[in-house]
């Protein structure tokens, strides 16, 4: 029977294919006693589960794509070693005999013991290793429970050309899967500007989030249609729907082909106002997409993705290598490297040792520059690498989530020390490398005039600016209805930032997702924005909108919108702007 489910469309496009379900649900461990004569069999059951866990990990290890940039093998090796250790291999067997209990219970007891031991350790690195133990134990538990889709990793071999359905996907998992030709994502949780949604857009993969309670209605291998624009998923569609959506796919392809004709046209409005249009990237590999659309500069390079799916932070050389690849590929174009923005939904194993993930409000906690200033071992190698990379081309350094001048002063001091160090080692760098900040905490927008004397440029990060201004978690679909780029408070903060920077003669851009949405381009031009940085998939559409726009009247309409209180009136005025 056909079925239609509604969620939030976060990445446009149509996908038709078979579903692959990723099951993250925690395993419920049953606890029961066994007669003595069953204990040997129980031990065999446990040993088989451990051996299957090893086979699964080896299977995954053999299939790591050659071009994977992250140290997935190291991560798997660590788990394999744990499976070989008597703490997990032998002690649970002793517990089965001692307590005359089932394997799951014995394993749980032993896991709790190990976690307690780790918790007592002062060394944050060692204490963070407990997460690995829990992951390995979960793998065995799931096998004992008879789950076949034990986690996303072993499923990799089956991911190609499927539509992935999960309760939620972390940005790290999304990265993990990007090599596997996924047709689309659909998750039960997640918000419009969660990093998973941003990645899906960046990869050009249709995606829907917030499909609450979808999994009971969809079985593995069901054929589905994903409409990433409308946020609708059709389960077991009839022939008519399939024909209609195949036709839409062909139209989409034709539209994209037509857009590519403006690839080399200058980016300026119909009445001749030049506009800067840059691209947002997450990986050096994204440069292929940048080239495809004719992008000439990077307005936001989210470097934190280099930290995902690995055990150790990247060293200076790895940072340097990644930045060099982007710079070389752009052949003289501008590259804005943002220092790492880990924390909140983008966790790195090590940052857990700072309790970032368990904080009551991770998005308000130790994230981005706050984490960096607390953990200089994480930060300094990156700063050194960015400075060294500045000798190779036009590089700018941008700091995320700054909320005060104090933080800026601290960063500037560290950069100064690194410059002296590089100089003493005769390592080349650009002494005039521009230094800028993201305006993504309302405090920054309100204090633009105080900040501009200390920076060379600014970039508005609307994803967080909206989240913090409206107190709406950007990853939480339950409050997604409140996440509104057109809220008067958001528009006023944007206007204040643009005016503040312009008056101080400092360039300001927008790299948040609002800039990638063609509905807002004219409004933003009317508010005085002349520089956009957008995801590669949106690039040509935004360029087309700019080329089709006339500045005449836009400032007047934008001013009117700023003074309008009702949402309906604002929407009406926006329609007038876009007409
Ligand atoms: C933003 O907040 O708008 C932004 C560009 O940064 P990120 O999405 O990486 O938090
Ligand atoms: Mg941000």
Q: How far out from the chain centre does Cα 164 lie? A: 17
**Do the beta carbons of residue 340 and residue 297 sit within 8 Å?**
no
Ligand 1 centroid vs 439 CA: distance in angstroms?
10
Ligand 1 contact, 345 CB (< 6 A): no
The span from the CA of 527 to the CA of 554, in Å, is 8
Question: Which residues contact residue 506 at a Cβ distance below 8 angstroms, ignoring those fewer than 6 apart?
Answer: 452, 455, 456, 457, 458
Cβ-proximal residues to 115 (8 Å cutoff; 6+ apart), any chain: 130, 133, 134
Residue 69: the pLDDT is: 55
CA dihedral over 440, 443, 446, 448, signed as positive or negative: negative
- Say yes or no: CB of residue 541 within 6 Å of ligand 1: no
Q: What is the pLDDT of residue 356?
A: 46
Positions annotated as catalytic residues are: 195, 511
Give the pLDDT score at 35.
92
Is-contact 226 205, C-beta < 8 A?
A: no
**What backbone torsions phi and psi does residue 321 show, to the nearest 5 degrees?**
-60, -45
User: Which residue's alpha carbon is nearest to atom 8 within ligand 1?
Assistant: 463
The single residue listed with the structure tokens 């150790």 is 312
Alpha-carbon dihedral angle through residues 168, 172, 173, 178, given to the nearest 10 degrees: 130
CA distance 468 to 128: 29
- Beginning with the edge strand found earlier in the chain, give each strand of the sheet holding 14-22 in spatial order: 3-6, 232-235, 223-227, 14-22, 162-166, 184-187, 207-209, 8-11
Q: What is the DSSP string of 282-297?
A: SSGGGHHHHHHHT---
- Give the per-residue pLDDT at 106: 96
Whole-angstrom distance, CA of residue 513 vs CA of residue 202 = 11
Q: Is the CB of 351 under 6 A from ligand 1?
A: no
Q: What is the pLDDT of residue 67?
A: 61
Q: Which residues pair with 209 in a beta bridge?
A: 8
Choice from 171, 308, 485, 511 to test ligand 1 binding pocket (greatest atom count within 8 A of CB):
511
What is the pLDDT at residue 572? 93
| Residue spans of alpha helices (H) in 471-533 | 488-503, 521-526
CATH 3.20.20.60 describes domain 255-268+471-579: yes
Distance CA 116, CA 120 (A): 6
- Candidate of 364, 440, 529 to mutate for ligand 1, largest count of ligand atoms within 8 Å of Cβ: 440
The pLDDT assigned to 192 comes to 82
Q: Count CB neighbours of 349 within 10 A.
A: 21
Mean pLDDT by 10 residues, the chain (579 residues): 91 94 76 92 94 84 64 78 93 96 95 88 71 85 65 58 86 70 89 82 89 87 95 96 97 94 96 97 94 96 88 90 97 96 74 54 92 95 98 98 96 98 97 98 97 98 97 90 94 98 98 96 98 96 97 94 92 92
Please state the atom number of ligand 1 nearest to the C-alpha of residue 280.
5
Whole-number Å distance between alpha carbons of 409 and 573: 42
State the CB neighbour count (10 A cutoff) for residue 548.
13
323 CB-side CA count, 13 A: 35
Q: How far is the CA of 131 from the centre of ligand 1 (A)?
A: 27
Answer yes or no: is the C-beta of 514 below 6 A from any ligand 1 atom.
no
pTM: 0.78
How do beta strands 8-11 and 207-209 pair? Answer: antiparallel
301, 370, 438, best to mutate for ligand 1 pocket (most atoms within 8 Å of CB): 438
Structure tokens at 363: 């998005």
| Beta-bridge partner residues of 302 | 338
pLDDT at 65: 62
Ligand nearest to C-alpha 475: 1
pLDDT of res. 28:
75
CB 562 within 8 A of CB 488: yes
């Amino acid at each position: 029977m056909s079925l239609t489910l509604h969620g939030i469309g976060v990445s446009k496009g149509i996908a038709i294919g078979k579903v692959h379900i990723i099951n993250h649900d925690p395993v419920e461990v049953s606890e029961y006693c066994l007669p003595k004569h069953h204990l040997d069999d129980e031990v065999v059951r446990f040993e088989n589960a451990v051996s299957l866990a090893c086979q699964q990990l080896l299977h995954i290890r053999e299939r790591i794509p050659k071009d994977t940039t992250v140290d997935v093998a190291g991560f798997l090796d660590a788990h394999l070693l744990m499976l070989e250790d008597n703490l997990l291999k032998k002690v649970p067997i002793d517990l089965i005999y001692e307590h005359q209990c089932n394997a799951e219970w014995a394993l749980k007891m032993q896991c709790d013991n190990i976690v307690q031991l780790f918790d007592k350790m002062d060394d944050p690195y060692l204490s963070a290793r407990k997460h690995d133990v829990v992951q390995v134990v979960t793998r065995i538990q799931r096998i004992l429970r008879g789950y076949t889709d034990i986690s996303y990793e072993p499923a990799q071999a089956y991911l190609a050309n499927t539509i992935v359905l999960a309760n939620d996907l972390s940005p790290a998992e999304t990265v993990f899967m990007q090599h596997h030709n996924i047709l689309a994502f659909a998750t039960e949780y997640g918000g419009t500007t969660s990093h998973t949604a941003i990645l899906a857009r960046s990869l050009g993969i249709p995606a829907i989030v917030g499909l609450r309670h979808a999994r009971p209605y969809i079985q593995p291998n069901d054929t589905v249609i994903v409409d990433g624009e409308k946020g609708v998923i059709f389960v077991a569609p009839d022939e008519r729907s399939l024909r209609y959506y195949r036709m839409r796919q062909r139209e989409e392809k034709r539209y994209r082909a037509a857009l590519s004709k403006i690839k080399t046209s200058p980016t300026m409005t119909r009445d001749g106002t030049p506009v800067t249009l840059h691209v947002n990237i997450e990986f050096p590999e994204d440069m292929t997409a940048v080239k495809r659309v004719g992008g000439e500069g990077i307005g936001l390079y989210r470097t934190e993705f280099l930290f995902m799916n690995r055990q150790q932070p990247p060293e200076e050389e790895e940072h340097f290598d990644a930045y060099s690849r982007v710079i070389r590929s752009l052949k003289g174009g501008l590259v804005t490297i943002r220092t790492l923005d880990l924390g909140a939904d983008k966790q790195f194993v090590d940052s857990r040792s700072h309790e970032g993930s368990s904080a009551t409000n991770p998005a308000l906690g130790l994230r981005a520059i706050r984490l960096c200033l607390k953990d200089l071992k994480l930060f300094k190698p990156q700063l050194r690498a960015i400075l060294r990379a500045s000798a190779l081309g036009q590089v700018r350094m941008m700091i995320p989530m700054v909320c005060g001048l104090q933080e800026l002063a601290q960063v500037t001091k560290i950069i100064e020390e690194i410059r002296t160090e590089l100089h003493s080692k005769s390592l080349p760098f650009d002494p005039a490398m521009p230094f800028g900040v993201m305006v993504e905490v309302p405090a920054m927008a309100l204090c633009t005039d105080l900040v501009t004397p200390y920076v060379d440029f600014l970039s508005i990060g609307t994803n967080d600016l909206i989240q913090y201004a409206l107190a709406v978690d950007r990853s939480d679909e339950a409050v997604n209805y409140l996440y509104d780029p057109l809220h008067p408070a958001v528009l006023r903060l944007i206007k204040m930032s643009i005016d503040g920077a312009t008056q101080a003669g400092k360039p300001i851009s927008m790299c948040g997702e609002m800039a990638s949405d063609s509905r807002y381009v004219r409004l933003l031009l009317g508010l005085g924005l002349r520089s956009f940085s957008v995801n590669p998939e949106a690039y040509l559409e935004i360029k087309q909108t700019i080329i089709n726009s006339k500045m005449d009247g836009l400032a007047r309409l934008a001013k009117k919108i700023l003074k309008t209180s009702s949402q309906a009136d604002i929407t009406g005025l926006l329609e007038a702007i876009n007409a």
